């Protein structure tokens, strides 16, 4: 990584504004945190700054409040969980900018923590408004971006603020870039991609960019229907991106020319209705009825994918094999998670719903690395620049 990190700058006795990703999952009824992995992921940077006697000002978004105050998206609940994890108080504010935030920031002692209120209560955050960015920067002496999950967005707290403060990467950001960069630059061979999810369009750039680096790509999830359609299979009512059929065809042709095995399902689970308890069956891909839709991969496909993955030295996985929101359609996804957890290989999980599956199954510690950013990891592996990373200071030669 060619960017400076928090280790490359003197933070002692300085007010340090740290962009973290505390966009945690909440229970819809109780509003309790159901997964605190994003909070835990920020602890190495927080602990480092504490050890160096910095005055720590954390900022994050949560949910999609649409630029206005939404009471159940306030970050006090996150502050309580963070306080429990680190064993000391975390100060909170009613806003992320303005007089109250400035007073609290100025009053911090060495190693004290302040968590600002939800950034997205202000529409100016997502608009990357320079006045809002300057107001955030006014709180601190140094800026640290430790929120890889939002680094693909040019927002005020990820890109705009760097115009006003010296800006470096946090330890989580550094780890993300090193692991994801590593599979692009020097993966342990054979290198395979396990790719699912609903849409081909979400994965095109990533698939094209890794094509010259992988030995095989396994295609599952809803996006498999578009590839099967290219091969003239009947896919019934399955989601097919008609405007991406040529794209899928081109990807298959590129794979063939590059000597990359692009492996599609041989059997799938189908149903007439996408709902819990709906009748379902597993059929070969040449037996899909016109009145049914694909909702998961089948047993033979699980065996086929498993056979390929057992030979891998590196695996990158992004996207579920079925409809992740409905338990009846998750067998393929769970089978892949269990398999990857048992491999003697580098297993990199590409954030988003894939990371949620692995964490909820209690398999996180059995994977080499789990990214905290689904969209960011896809963009990075697609060879595209991340605004939140590009804005950071380069390493000194």
**144, 172, 200 — which closes off a domain?**
172
Residue 316 counted as domain residue: yes
CA distance readout (Å), 213 to 178, 206, 251, 378: 17, 11, 14, 15
Residues 159 and 230 grouped into a single domain? no
Residues 198 and 164 grouped into a single domain? no
Please write the tens of the pLDDT for every residue from 109-122. 999 999 999 999 99
Q: How far apart are CA 370 and CA 361, in angstroms?
A: 13
Residues 200 and 282 grouped into a single domain? yes
CB-facing half-sphere around the CA of 371: CA atoms within 13 A: 32
Residues 313 and 205 grouped into a single domain? yes
Low-confidence ranges of the chain (pLDDT < 70): 397
Residue 396 counted as domain residue: no
pLDDT at residue 397, as a whole number? 67
Residues 167 and 89 grouped into a single domain? yes
Burial of 219 (0-12, 13-18, 19+ CB in 10 A): buried
Domain at 197, CATH number = 3.40.50.1260
Residue 397 counted as domain residue: no
**147, 172, 197 — which closes off a domain?**
172
pLDDT at residue 396, as a whole number? 83
Cα angle value 123/124/129 (rounded, 5°): 160
Residue 393 counted as domain residue: no
Tell me which residue range forms the domain holding 214: 179-381
Residues 69 and 214 grouped into a single domain? no
Residues 269 and 231 grouped into a single domain? yes
Please write the tens of the pLDDT for every residue from 255-287. 999 999 999 999 999 999 999 999 999 999 999
Residues 107 and 58 grouped into a single domain? yes
Using the structure block, give the residue that is written with the tokens 């945690």: 24
**172, 198, 230 — which closes off a domain?**
172
Residues 90 and 118 grouped into a single domain? yes
Residue 374 counted as domain residue: yes
Q: How far apart are CA 358 and CA 350, in angstroms?
A: 11
What is the value of pTM for the model shown?
Answer: 0.92
Please write the tens of the pLDDT for every residue from 121-141. 999 999 999 999 999 999 999
Q: How far apart are CA 91 and CA 342, in angstroms?
A: 42
Residues with catalytic function: 38, 199, 352, 375
Residues 153 and 22 grouped into a single domain? yes
Residues 190 and 95 grouped into a single domain? no
pLDDT at residue 226, as a whole number? 95
In the sheet with 15-19, reading across from the earlier edge strand, the strands are 91-92, 113-115, 55-59, 15-19, 142-145, 167-169
Residues 194 and 127 grouped into a single domain? no
Helix/strand/coil for 261: strand
Q: How far apart are CA 113 and CA 143, in angstroms?
A: 15
The number of distinct structural domains making up the chain is 2
């Amino acid at each position: 990584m060619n960017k400076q990190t928090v280790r490359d700058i003197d933070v002692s006795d300085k007010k340090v504004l740290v962009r973290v990703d505390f966009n945690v999952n909440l229970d819809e009824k109780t509003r309790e945190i159901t997964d605190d992995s994003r909070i835990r992921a920020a602890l190495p940077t927080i602990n480092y700054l504490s050890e160096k006697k910095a005055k720590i000002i954390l900022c994050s978004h949560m949910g999609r409040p649409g630029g206005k105050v939404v009471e159940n998206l306030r970050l006090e609940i996150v502050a309580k969980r963070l306080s429990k994890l680190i064993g000391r108080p975390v100060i909170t504010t009613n806003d992320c900018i303005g007089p109250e935030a400035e007073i609290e920031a100025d009053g911090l002692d060495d190693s004290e923590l302040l968590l600002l209120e939800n950034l997205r209560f202000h529409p100016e955050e997502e608009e990357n408004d320079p006045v809002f960015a300057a107001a955030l920067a006014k709180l601190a002496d140094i800026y640290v971006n430790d929120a890889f999950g939002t680094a693909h967005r040019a927002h005020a707290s990820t890109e705009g603020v760097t115009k006003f403060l010296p800006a470096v990467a946090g330890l989580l950001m550094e780890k993300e870039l090193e692991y994801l960069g590593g599979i692009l630059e020097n993966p342990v061979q054979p290198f395979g991609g396990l790719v699912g999810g609903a849409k081909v369009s979400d994965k095109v750039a990533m698939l094209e960019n890794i094509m010259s680096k992988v030995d095989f790509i396994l295609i599952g999830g809803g996006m498999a229907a578009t590839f099967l359609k290219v091969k003239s299979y009947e896919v019934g009512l399955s989601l097919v991106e008609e405007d991406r059929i040529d794209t899928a065809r081109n990807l298959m042709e590129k794979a063939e020319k590059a000597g990359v095995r692009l492996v599609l399902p041989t059997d799938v689970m189908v149903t007439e209705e996408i709902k819990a308890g709906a009748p379902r069956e597993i059929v070969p891909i040449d037996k899909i009825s016109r009145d049914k839709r694909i909702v998961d991969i089948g047993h033979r496909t699980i065996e086929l994918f498993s056979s390929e993955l057992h030979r891998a030295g590196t695996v990158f996985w992004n996207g579920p094999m079925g409809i992740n929101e409905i338990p009846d359609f998750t067998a393929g996804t769970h089978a892949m998670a269990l398999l990857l957890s048992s491999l003697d290989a580098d297993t990199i999980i590409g954030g988003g719903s894939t990371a949620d599956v692995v964490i909820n199954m209690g398999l996180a510690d059995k994977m080499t690395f789990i990214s905290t950013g689904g969209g960011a990891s896809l963009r990075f592996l697609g060879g595209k620049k991340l605004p939140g990373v590009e804005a950071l200071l380069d390493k000194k030669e």
